[in-house]
Structures are given as C-alpha cells and as structure tokens.
Amino acid sequence: MCAKPVLWMPRRLSDATIERARRDYELILNEADTPGTAEEIVAMSARVDAMIPCHSEHFTAEVAAGLDPRLKIIANHSVGVDHCDLAALKARGVVVTNTPDVLSDATAELAMLLMLGAARHAVAGDRLVRTGAWDSWSPSFMVGKQVTGARLGIVGMGRVGRAMAQKARGFGMEIHYFNRSPLDPDMAQGATYHATLETLLPQSDFLSLHCPASPETTDLMNARTFAMLPDWAVLVNAARGALVDEAALIAALDAGKLAAAGLDCFKTEPGGNPAFAGYDNIFMLPHIGSATTQTRDAMGYRALDNLDAFFAGGEPRDLV
C-alpha cells in the first residue's frame, strides 16, 4: 500500500475540510492557526509533498528559492494568488492552484452589505443606538444615499463582479462595467461596457472594485481617479487593499467628493488603517468576504480536489 502524501495546513480550515484531509492525507495541521512565516514555509517544504496555504502565507521569490524539491504543489485556499510569486514557483517546478467560483456569491453579498452600510450611515447609526445617544428625530436626521435606481460601476466583471451585478439588479441599479474585454451579451445581462476606466468613473454613483491586485492595478483608485467620480459617490472594495490609495481616499472624503466608503480589505492586513477609525462614513469589515460556513467548506474541498487530481496523476482543475 502506497503511503499517503504528506500535507501541511498552516491555518485551521473548516472542520469538514480537516476531516477529509485527515482521511486522504498525512496531515500536519497548525492547531495554533497563526500565519506561516517564510522560515516555517521553507522548513516545512522538506517534510511535506503539498501545502494548502491561505492569503496570509507569502511565497516570495526568496521563499520559492529556498523550497525543498520534495514540495510539489501549493493548493491555495483563496482565489487571489498575489501572495505567490508565480514565476519563481514555476521555476522551482511547484504547481500552484486556487479556488475560483465557490466564493463569488458570498463575496458579492458582503460587497452589497458594504455598499448599503456605507450609503445609509450604518456606523454612525449603530453607535448612536448602541450608546444610548439616540434621543431625537427630524426629517433631516441621518439622510443617506439611495441605492435603488442608482448607477453602479463595477471594475472587473469576473465571477464576483458578475455576482455583484446580479444582486444589484434586484435593487433596480443601472450596471456599468470596466473589464479587459466586453462580456458576451448573455453574461453582460444588459450592463454597459466601458473600454476605459476614464469613461466608467463619471457614470458611477457607486463604484465596486472586483479586479485582482497586480502591478497594473496597485493604487487604481488615487487622487486622479477619485476626481473622475460624480460628486458624493460611494466606493466599495471587497477585492484587495492594494487597489486603493488610502491617503487619497481620506482626502476625497474630507473634500466631500466621496460620500462614504465600504471596505473589507486594506493595505495593511491584519490591522487596517488606524486613520479610518475617525470616519463614521467608512464602513469597515475585517476581510471576511468568503466567511460563510458553506463557502469555507467549498473552498477547502476545492483545494483538496486539486490535490487529489494532482496526486492521481492528472491535471488539477484550477491551475494558475
């Protein structure tokens, strides 16, 4: 009987994922559930055949150069792979996969929450009631920005972007999008395509970011691009913190250019940007776009599916 491949999980994934992994692999699980350091990743590569890391484990070129030849595959528990130097890992002969499809709806749900919470003063309103400070009312009290019928600009019309558009249609929103190429009509579902960000932004009462982080998209939203939005627009970012110049975001809020922002990701994670805490019109969550039981089980299973295919001698479904 062949020995089972040895698998390292540096983070504690869902119970269902761990149970299946223990059944099919010799599992080394970090019960402390702390991010794997560069030193731990390199050391563990001599002990295991596979890893299922999260976005918290960084496979830089330096880390890749130190990997032991025993490590054959990194099956990411994430869609984004900007924490991996793909070229360096490929040069070491390491296969890399991700988990697309399964978290689109959960992430789009959270983006809708961010959009609605930012538009309707969720932070200030919750604080007012929670602290017992709500002691009056008037027609001018906490008047927010209406979502229904507004124009929604989506940057990146991939799986999550399309799921966001589908949910926004339930609010009667007019969908505009910027993508590398226009979608087929059956996928666009009437959304208006913009070949450039410069034509999308003036049409975006609400702007939702759903593109990957890359050198080309770093600080995509900056002083110049914020200025192109309609006055009193709302920014939503449930993708990656690298997409937003945070100092420019604060400046746009201070100037009244932006009415509010809903953020699930930040330049620095964990922790976020301490300067944002002084702004009730920034509605923030701690990067939990995929954090539903159903989705976390599906992500773990998708990563294991990729490992199963690889160790069976086939090609993993989600090669990147």
Q: Is residue 183 part of a domain?
A: yes
113 and 234 in a single domain? The answer is yes
Q: Clarify whether 20 is annotated catalytic.
A: no
Judge contact between 247 and 221, C-beta under 8 A.
no
How far does Cα 62 stand from its chain's mean position? Answer: 25
43 and 116 in a single domain? The answer is no
117 and 183 in a single domain? The answer is yes
For residue 174, the model assigns a pLDDT of 98
Other C-beta atoms lying within 10 Å of the C-beta of residue 191: 23
Q: What are residue 33's phi and psi, to 5 degrees?
A: 55, 45
What is the chain's pLDDT, residue by residue, as a tens digit (320 residues)?
Answer: 569 999 999 999 999 999 999 999 999 999 999 999 999 999 999 999 999 999 999 999 999 999 999 999 999 999 989 999 999 999 999 999 999 999 999 999 999 999 999 999 999 999 999 999 999 999 999 999 999 999 999 999 999 999 999 999 999 999 999 999 999 999 999 999 999 999 999 999 999 999 999 999 999 999 999 999 999 999 999 999 999 999 999 999 999 999 999 999 999 999 999 999 999 999 999 999 999 999 999 999 999 999 999 999 999 999 99
For residue 320, the model assigns a pLDDT of 94
238 and 169 in a single domain? The answer is yes
For residue 20, the model assigns a pLDDT of 98
Q: Is residue 316 part of a domain?
A: no
**Residues present in the chain in total:** 320
Angstrom distance (rounded) from CA 163 to CA 303: 22
Judge contact between 98 and 81, C-beta under 8 A.
yes
Catalytic one among 162, 287, 296, 302? 287
Q: Is residue 319 part of a domain?
A: no
Domain containing 251 equals 104-280
Q: Is residue 87 part of a domain?
A: yes
Q: Clarify whether 287 is annotated catalytic.
A: yes
240 and 149 in a single domain? The answer is yes
Q: Clarify whether 269 is annotated catalytic.
A: yes
Give the residue among 180, 182, 232 at the shortest CA–CA distance from 207.
232
Q: Is residue 285 part of a domain?
A: no
Q: What are residue 34's phi and psi, to 5 degrees?
A: -110, 150
203 and 188 in a single domain? The answer is yes
Residue with tokens 């209406």: 146
- Please state, in angstroms and as integers, the Cα–Cα distance from residue 305 to each residue in 159, 191, 287, 309, following that order: 20, 34, 25, 6
- Please state, in angstroms and as integers, the Cα–Cα distance from residue 285 to each residue in 50, 125, 267, 276, 281, following that order: 32, 16, 14, 12, 13
Contacts of 50 (CB under 8 A, 6+ apart): 5, 6, 7, 8, 25, 71, 72, 73, 74, 75, 307, 310, 311
250 and 109 in a single domain? The answer is yes
80 and 209 in a single domain? The answer is no
235 and 145 in a single domain? The answer is yes
260 and 306 in a single domain? The answer is no
Number of folded domains that form the chain: 2
Give the residue among 55, 105, 102 at the shortest CA–CA distance from 78.
55
94 and 114 in a single domain? The answer is no
> Directed axis angle between helix 104-119 and helix 122-130, to 10°?
70
CATH of the domain at 300: 3.40.50.720
Q: Is residue 137 part of a domain?
A: yes
Contacts of 298 (CB under 8 A, 6+ apart): 99, 102, 103
For residue 1, the model assigns a pLDDT of 54
Q: Is residue 253 part of a domain?
A: yes
Catalytic one among 19, 39, 198, 269? 269
Angstrom distance (rounded) from CA 310 to CA 211: 28
Catalytic one among 92, 240, 296, 302? 240
For residue 294, the model assigns a pLDDT of 97
CA angle 133, 138, 140 (to 5 degrees): 105
85 and 110 in a single domain? The answer is no
Q: Is residue 320 part of a domain?
A: no
Exposed e or buried b for every residue in 244-266, given b needs 16+ CB within 10 A? bbbebbbebbeeebbbbbbbbbb
For residue 269, the model assigns a pLDDT of 94
